[in-house]
Structure 1
């Protein structure tokens, strides 16, 4: 049904009187409640603007809800304003100023309002852009916007039904006006288009069958008025206002992961997984990122990052954001997940809920399984405070009385060995709901800890956990043996500097202060928690609970038809390039590639990079089999793959025992490239077959992470890969590559050149578009190049799972840039760089993100997808991600993310599910 305009103003006296005297208490109170939630500060004392205030009812309610606020209320109707002024009581007269004026001509102070709201004005305007441009004109930087309006029904009959449903008892004049307003309202799709045209990234929510709420923040635009600011060419693209702090952005990613734990459409046990993942991510964030910023703050207080923050300022913001995140994690656990798990008969039984039989069984469990291996340490002059392992579960126990030697230390420390499960499953005969009742290890220790202190009284027992700096430093200029250097650093990882302290929220202040003093930590890094101090260990119950109905539906990855039809993988690759998209397509062809290479008499040599590969990897087994079969096998292992160092050291030893040539890459540069080269003699010709990937040679993570892999026997590409391996395994100058871009030599320059080429196309009036899908965008030169592309009119679409330091939607700088993140069943891990190139589309896949470390401190490769068929397939996948309206989050100019809910009339699109279904059917 098309829109039917109605009168912009209510000026008929009877109409005004009927409207003013109507009972809008419920919808108006709901609107004010939405404002209270968004503002989240009852003491708000700034200036607000009510556009289209009508008879003033919402203005009055706002003033009462925010008694310290000043409010300017605007309307174009004289009778309406007269009614509003007559209803204005003396106690509100100091707060509210009623102003007559029509949009957009009303005269108000520009860029002055911290809050702008409007109820039921939008549908009165012939041109809706009048409202959105007025809001942009008068909003302060970072102003809060809240607009409520009607939604147009699908048909005249539906509008008539709504009038009967909601206005049957109202005067005829109100029924008529309500009907006309419904016909004049906009659809969700039209509102989406309006906001896009206005370059406003606001959140759209359908709050009822007839109302829509549009809310969000107006970013700190560089160009509120194009005539008063500098030209595009003069904008300094190094301004701190144009950058988001990388660590704050990383915390925002973790918040998006946590949101999945609250997502009702996700199976319940998977929601628990997302909670655990967010906790594990936060552990690593403190171990690596916070530790790094603390070190910077200790040696240099003045260094300012691209975002304008000093290390001290970063730490202050990290503390605020991480405390909010932790509070939300425990709220999700205690208030959402545990009650829902209980409803499914998966119960975490608290100590106060144990029945007599459970108490007896748990006492026996403690005596048989825990007591023999628990070793408390009493604190006195002979027993100093013990060294606490990184992320271990510990208890501080307050005691009274004397021990066998007459000692009275008052406190003891107990560390729970890591080998112990953190969740104990009660036997079926001791439960009320079957075999899915669990008890936290901490609850058992707390209940029976007095057994460890015979004759003494336990006054309190409180769990705590310390997180330590787990990044390590290897001096590249001073080492003779990289393996020994890494082994030496690993031995110290568990005892790095303390960066975070988590304590049971019930712990008394004197004990909290005692621990803070021992760990020389201030309260900014103290987290008082209402539950287990290590939530990610709760994930253990997933392997114990047989409830497939509460997990994602299993699927079998498909195999490309050209491989399924041809048992000889080399013959299939020789026919044409083959693309794999994991986990939708199986990782098995990669393993089969190596297995056939190991068994083939035509294969002379195999060269392979390994960054992370997992225990008992079939990739490693195939490489060992090849070496034992007499093949020349060379493996480049990266010893410094974070948190996989020990596994890679063991792997190197295992390979060397099988006569594999093992090298550790280049000192000073992590080898992050994902490459495999198989050299075959085919008749009189030597032919290189390659597999290149965006992700690791890790069969397990290939089931969880989205990545692309390419099989090819292209001669120039194979020669490029051989040259890169030669660089890694021997010495020599940089050699020119035919097709690959390689860091630290040509990758960064190559990407910037391709961005500049799109800028040139745009300036010449040709179509220009860039699509980049990566895990992170941090590198400043790349960000500035993308800003220049936006200024030149290039359409820039960025799909960035994690950190993004670029700000989209800033007028004059990045209004042509959209940044979205996809958080779904699978972890988005692929790196794709696509350039329209005036119709000569180029698509590259890579192991590298747009980060300084990937561009300059790692060995990475970026490889072209030259088959038009495969190129189009990747572009199709990217298009699905850009259309996703169920798992996408849009980055706002202020660094916040808004979830893109399917609020339009269009079909639901979940990119990962669509790709999975397409490939299952192929």
Structure 2
């Protein structure tokens, strides 16, 4: 390749693609905008501010950690978007630094707004004498007994600092030492098993609610731990370590044990980011930077480190519902609300469920009925992220104890849920379930449940496929679509899929499904190519795709090809998007929008016009390389015409949202809806609450 061609290719990469990690930062900025939006209820704004922090923690401990590892290994090759690891890391740190500054500016504004509502973050010095006395008692009764000061000197090496835990760096002088003596140094871990935000007993005749931070209370009493020394500075800090698991799956005799070992190793992951509070003592900062070898990845925080505690605050104020969104009561799907026997109802018709507007209880009820039904022979399902008190796991255990064949494909490598999934796996095995940990080298991310039942005319399969996890907690917070069906073709594909996941089975020619890594990408590329052929031939052509992320280069390039052929393409991508829309000669017919609102948009839905005979698919998969090549993923067609129309209506809502939708511009920036949008405000998540009305046969809207 000539030097000119290389330069042209590099210029094209930066012109035609948006970097995945820089795109993610833009997504987190959209979350921050929700915290800044004055039309959002105040406690909901606090919640969004918390989400910005937890999002950034995961990004740093996984994505930035991976880039840091590339740098340490001397990797300097550019990715398909034109960035080297060094250049990318420099831009990431600059942009996240600005975001954090903006986040804390927003925090100060929201703190003032909360104070006007009677919710006050206070300092120990501002408490009344009686309040101070009560907080002293709280410290000595509940906090002091669990604190452990850890000195650092020649005889006591630097203690292990856990990732994403809050600590206090204490700089001290011995009583009587001159101010210019070299100070002593110690750290104190802020207990993570105590409330971070402590409610202060109310002042006399006051209805205001006051809170102090646990680290501030400890700092007030710091001398109780260092008798004979004078603290000259007490500074909060937090370290982020590399949290990505590196497993030798092929060499592991027992995957569960290998993951448990790796989780312990995670405590010693290499440092990635150091957060210190503004005004940190220089001696203490030098100690930390030397110990962690952190370089320049130090964030100075102008406020409390780690705002994730605001999530609990938002949920813990029962008398402030006027500062929240109105409570949503999910409706039970009307097709099943009168059904005493869910199997009988599903023999008559397929049923589509749209969470959180429709209740996840129907999924739990279906599994519980299957567990107790003497005619059910087998239950098989995948479990990726499960709630802490799962009725589904309990029902599976009861079914196994009743003698049914119960198979659970539990994904032990679901990031940050590994320990919980290990516990569930052991509970299920103890009850007699067949627990499978998936295939070597692949995460099992498909969402599917299969029930095999003996009926008068033989065995019948009932299937549930979804876009989200079998988790009743997230089903109240995420928008996801689930499909119940007894369609025999889908049932046969479901059986084969479980056989592939649990045993030895040759690649299958799927009748209905698209399955990754076997053929889903090939099928999607073929569907996109078909639309391009139809457009070129003058037949109806259109693509609508809703997903969380679009970052696979081959998928992006195929969409560019379809656009050049004249296919109208409307993408609804919540988070990362590496495609640039509206670029002359490449993507003129492509639009990209992101909806960030009360609920996390999580459903993956694909629509292909197919020459006037539309196809609609539900999927567990985003269009990312990891989903298409390194995970077991599933996409399933919606065959019932009425349900297909409901799914199209869901897509149409997102495409006409002009309140919470942001439009991606060719320069990689997101802007609010343009003047071309409908004049009347339309907020898709609020309108979607009418889902039950849409689905009733007499709805003519």
**Superposition TM-score, scaled by structure 1 size:** 0.72
After TM superposition, give the deviation of residue 539 of structure 1 in Å.
2.1
Q: 8 Å contact 1:886–1:902 — kept in the other structure?
A: no
1:826 is aligned to 2:596: no
Which residue of 234, 254, 261 maps to 2:35? Answer: 261
SS in 2 for 1:371: helix
Residue equivalent to 2:306: 534
Residue equivalent to 2:4: none
After TM superposition, give the deviation of residue 899 of structure 1 in Å.
2.2
1:426 is aligned to 2:200: yes
Q: 8 Å contact 2:390–2:472 — kept in the other structure?
A: yes
Q: 8 Å contact 2:386–2:470 — kept in the other structure?
A: yes
Residue equivalent to 1:338: 111
Q: 8 Å contact 1:442–1:532 — kept in the other structure?
A: no
SS in 2 for 1:320: helix
After TM superposition, give the deviation of residue 544 of structure 1 in Å.
2.7
1:680 is aligned to 2:445: no
Q: 8 Å contact 2:170–2:284 — kept in the other structure?
A: no
After TM superposition, give the deviation of residue 599 of structure 1 in Å.
1.4
Residue equivalent to 2:503: 730
Instruction: Give the unaligned 5+ runs of structure 2.
Output: 1-7, 697-701
Which residue of 348, 351, 363 maps to 1:578? Answer: 351
After TM superposition, give the deviation of residue 301 of structure 1 in Å.
3.4
1:563 is aligned to 2:336: yes
1:835 is aligned to 2:608: yes
Residue equivalent to 1:609: 382
Q: C-alpha separation between the residues in 2 aligned to 1:431 and 1:688?
A: 65
If asked which structure has higher relative contact order (CA below 8 Å, sep 6+), I would say 2
SS in 1 for 2:145: coil
After TM superposition, give the deviation of residue 275 of structure 1 in Å.
0.2
Q: 1:291-690, aligned counterparts within 5 Å?
A: 291-334=65-108, 336-401=109-174, 410-428=184-202, 430=203, 433-434=206-207, 436-523=209-296, 525-546=297-318, 547-690=320-463
Encode CA deviations 1:586-609: one digit per residue, 9 max, x unaligned. 111111111111111211111011
Q: 8 Å contact 2:382–2:410 — kept in the other structure?
A: yes
Encode CA deviations 1:472-507: one digit per residue, 9 max, x unaligned. 111133222111110110111122110000001011
Q: 8 Å contact 1:237–1:787 — kept in the other structure?
A: no
SS in 1 for 2:112: helix
Q: 8 Å contact 2:468–2:480 — kept in the other structure?
A: yes
Q: 8 Å contact 1:799–1:821 — kept in the other structure?
A: yes
Residue equivalent to 1:207: none
After TM superposition, give the deviation of residue 237 of structure 1 in Å.
11
Q: 8 Å contact 2:357–2:691 — kept in the other structure?
A: no
After TM superposition, give the deviation of residue 435 of structure 1 in Å.
5.8
After TM superposition, give the deviation of residue 402 of structure 1 in Å.
5.4
Which residue of 638, 642, 647 maps to 1:865? Answer: 638
Residue equivalent to 1:741: 514
Q: C-alpha separation between the residues in 1 aligned to 2:382 and 2:176?
A: 58
After TM superposition, give the deviation of residue 456 of structure 1 in Å.
1.5
Residue equivalent to 1:912: 685
Q: C-alpha separation between the residues in 2 aligned to 1:764 and 1:300?
A: 50
Q: C-alpha separation between the residues in 2 aligned to 1:241 and 1:270?
A: 37
Encode CA deviations 1:615-674: one digit per residue, 9 max, x unaligned. 221111111111122111111100000001000100011001111111111111000000
Q: 1:838-853, aligned counterparts within 5 Å?
A: 838-853=611-626
Encode CA deviations 1:243-296: one digit per residue, 9 max, x unaligned. 111111111111100111111111111110000011000000001000011111
Residue equivalent to 1:289: 63
Which residue of 466, 485, 491 maps to 1:712? Answer: 485
SS in 1 for 2:97: helix
Q: 1:787 to 1:460 in 2, by over 3 A?
A: same
Q: C-alpha separation between the residues in 2 aligned to 1:842 and 1:422?
A: 50
Q: 1:237 to 1:532 in 2, by over 3 A?
A: closer
Residue equivalent to 2:23: 249
Q: C-alpha separation between the residues in 1 aligned to 2:513 and 2:351?
A: 17
SS in 2 for 1:564: coil
Q: How many residues end up aligned between the 2 structures?
A: 685
Residue equivalent to 1:182: none
After TM superposition, give the deviation of residue 434 of structure 1 in Å.
2.5
SS in 2 for 1:803: coil
Q: C-alpha separation between the residues in 2 aligned to 1:833 and 1:320?
A: 36
Q: 1:289 to 1:764 in 2, by over 3 A?
A: same
Q: 8 Å contact 2:10–2:82 — kept in the other structure?
A: no
Q: C-alpha separation between the residues in 2 aligned to 1:352 and 1:771?
A: 58
Q: 8 Å contact 2:175–2:230 — kept in the other structure?
A: no
Q: 1:607 to 1:905 in 2, by over 3 A?
A: closer
After TM superposition, give the deviation of residue 408 of structure 1 in Å.
8.3
After TM superposition, give the deviation of residue 447 of structure 1 in Å.
1.5
Q: 1:623 to 1:558 in 2, by over 3 A?
A: same
Residue equivalent to 1:696: 469
SS in 1 for 2:414: coil
1:877 is aligned to 2:650: yes
After TM superposition, give the deviation of residue 454 of structure 1 in Å.
1.4
Q: 1:902 to 1:630 in 2, by over 3 A?
A: farther
Q: C-alpha separation between the residues in 2 aligned to 1:261 and 1:452?
A: 39
Q: 8 Å contact 1:833–1:845 — kept in the other structure?
A: yes
SS in 2 for 1:762: helix
SS in 1 for 2:313: helix
Q: 1:323 to 1:235 in 2, by over 3 A?
A: closer
- More deviation in 295-304 or 483-492? 295-304
Which residue of 800, 810, 825 maps to 2:573? Answer: 800
After TM superposition, give the deviation of residue 881 of structure 1 in Å.
0.5
Encode CA deviations 1:309-336: one digit per residue, 9 max, x unaligned. 00001100100111011111111101x1
Q: C-alpha separation between the residues in 2 aligned to 1:439 and 1:506?
A: 20
Encode CA deviations 1:155-181: one digit per residue, 9 max, x unaligned. xxxxxxxxxxxxxxxxxxxxxxxxxxx
Q: C-alpha separation between the residues in 1 aligned to 2:540 and 2:498?
A: 38
Residue equivalent to 2:3: none
